[in-house]
Amino acid sequence: MTECQLHPFERNRYFYGKLLTVRDFETEQRYYMEKDRLINRLIHGIGIACGLEVKEPRLESDGKLTVELAKGAALDCCGNEIIVSRTGRVNTNGNYKDGLNYIYIKYAECEREPVPCLANSSACEETCSGNRIQECFEILVSSESPAADPEPAEGDVINWEPGDDLVRPYLTGQDLKVLLVVLNIDGNTVSVDDTETKKFRDIVYHNPLLHYLFTCLKKSLDSHLSDTDNPHDTSAAQVGALVSIDGVSNPGGNVDLAGDNGITINSDNNTNVIRIGETHSGATGNPHNTQHAQTSPAPIDPASDDSARNKHVSNADGKRWNSALAGIQVDGGTVLQNPGGAVNLVAGENVDLVPDATGKSVTINASGSAPAPSARTGRVTIETNEKGQGSAIVDSGFDNNQFFVHVGVVYKGFVEYGPSIEFAGHVLNPIVRVYDETSLPVIEQPTIGPTRGPLTEASAGQFVIMINAPEIGAQSIPVCWFAVPAMGHVLPTIKPTVEPTLWPTIEPTLRPTVEPTLRPTIEPTLQPTVGPTLRPTVEPTLQPTVEPTLRPTVEPTIMPTGRPVIERALTEISGISDDYNSQLKANGISNVKELAGTEPSKIAVILGISEVKAMAFVDEARRLLGQ
């Protein structure tokens, strides 16, 4: 390699059916070789890496100059690695003369193992070509000296920003040879000139060598820094040291400061501070024996509000005056003032004031409500039967039912939360029921089985996680949960008035909603018959009045004169928000039955969701209808 400039790298791109030629293989080799050479010349530098000492130079009988060269390695300015594998005597190429002569080593390539070329154009001729390229070297001799590295002259300021000729040697066009030694030839006598050799012989400063040099430098600096006997013979005038104070000097000693006539001197050797103070300003009792008449005071006028300080008062009045409270500040701003009076502190809501007359302080404490409980979390495994039904009772750690529960399913290394959760290729819709002993009456036998799974009883502070997915069969489903305490005001629980003869049977999945303005009164003659999932029996004495806050999500249709028809609202489906409900109704889908009969692809287009999520909505609608 003879070209040391920077250029972009190029490598082969392989593909099936590519025809590889000599050019392609050469490109493959050149790519890696030039990368190594770039690192060598930009990172490591130029010079001798190890070995390559020159000894016993002499002129042979045939006039050839030979030297004894030790094995070693060097890097030239193009990053070529020059390797001498063994020690021995080598010949030099070039012209020499009496005086100083410079011996160089240069990178070279030699072809080896000639083999016939099978692609010869003439069958009658046999052409051979080298089968291998060996990286070798040659030794050159020249009477021209190499350019020496610039060095700052004594007293010159060091240039910390050298130009490209020093920090970027690949742009300087240097010769592809490395100096080994400088010889002095005088007739037939040849000797090594060590002084000139050290001047021009470059060394590659690899990491071990740099570590050794820095270690030596540190030892030298440590030795110098520990020398406290003025190793530079620095004088007081050179450093501007204090010679005397007001003509008082004590070479090699101290000049003491002494206090007198109310002046105090306090020194602190730990903080290197000398404090000069006075005691006169703190003296009381008229230390100058000043008489009242000598001050020419003006009489006090109680009716005047002038601020001129030209009157004398008693010590007691002055003390009360100086210690009077001027006002109360909040964040640096005065908010309360009552000159001549007191400021009264009043305890507000959830605040206690504890005055301490002895300590002259008032302690303000927070009181009232206890701190809000923190959220709870846990993990359970729900075992489903062959019908895909399973449940688990979980203790939230709270002592009431004022909390929310979110559940997620662990699957493939993730925990997925939401109303519809993917598990084993199917969509689960876990149901959480928080026990509330003040809610509906106990249900003896659920009439709707497959849609929600078996009902599990719990106690206060507990909740039930239920899974009903017939398509998954028997599974062990790891479920993560976290319960968050409810904050704010809780609306009172509405308890319907039920006569002792009323015993309705209600499926847990049926959540009828009464419109806020609906207040139906069922007369004794009403005998409604609800479908197979709702079988209420109403005695003639029943007069229930349902408030609008009882079940605000389902709109029942009440037909007092015939068979009532209950249409399940779309919001009964987990994940269908008010926005989704409005979009579906705008497209002619107004209840659960119509949703169950619609293709999932159409639902996905209407709501702008994935078809998988739309399929989950349709499946849950069909389960609610028992399909």
Neighbours of 396 (CB within 10 A): 26
Q: Which CATH class is domain 505-624?
A: mainly alpha
pLDDT of residue 589: 92
pLDDT of residue 366: 65
pLDDT of residue 350: 63
Q: Is the pTM of this model over 0.75?
A: no
pLDDT of residue 480: 92
Res. 381: pLDDT tops 90: yes
Among 176-185, 333-342, 521-530, whose mean pLDDT is lowest? 521-530
Cα 35 to Cα 105: distance, rounded to the nearest angstrom: 23
Residue predicted with more confidence, 554 or 200: 200
pLDDT of residue 247: 76
> b/e for 47-85, b at 16 or more Cβ within 10 A?
bbbeebebeebeeeeeeebbbebeebebbbbbbbbbebe
Cα 339 to Cα 318: distance, rounded to the nearest angstrom: 16
pLDDT in tens, 392-417: 999 888 878 888 888 999 887 788 88
Res. 584: pLDDT tops 90: yes
Res. 2: pLDDT tops 60: no
Cα 378 to Cα 405: distance, rounded to the nearest angstrom: 11
pLDDT of residue 450: 38
Average pLDDT over residues 145-150: 70
> Which residues make Cβ contacts (< 8 Å) with residue 270, sequence separation at least 6?
none
Name the most confidently modeled range: 29-43, 89-103, 216-230, 283-297: 89-103
> b/e for 451-485, b at 16 or more Cβ within 10 A?
bbbebbebeebbbbbbbbbeebeebebebbbbbeb
pLDDT of residue 80: 85
Average pLDDT over residues 243-272: 81
Domain boundaries, the chain: 22-117+128-149+160-209, 378-485, 505-624
Among 27-31, 137-141, 181-185, 251-255, whose mean pLDDT is lowest? 251-255
Residue predicted with more confidence, 123 or 71: 71
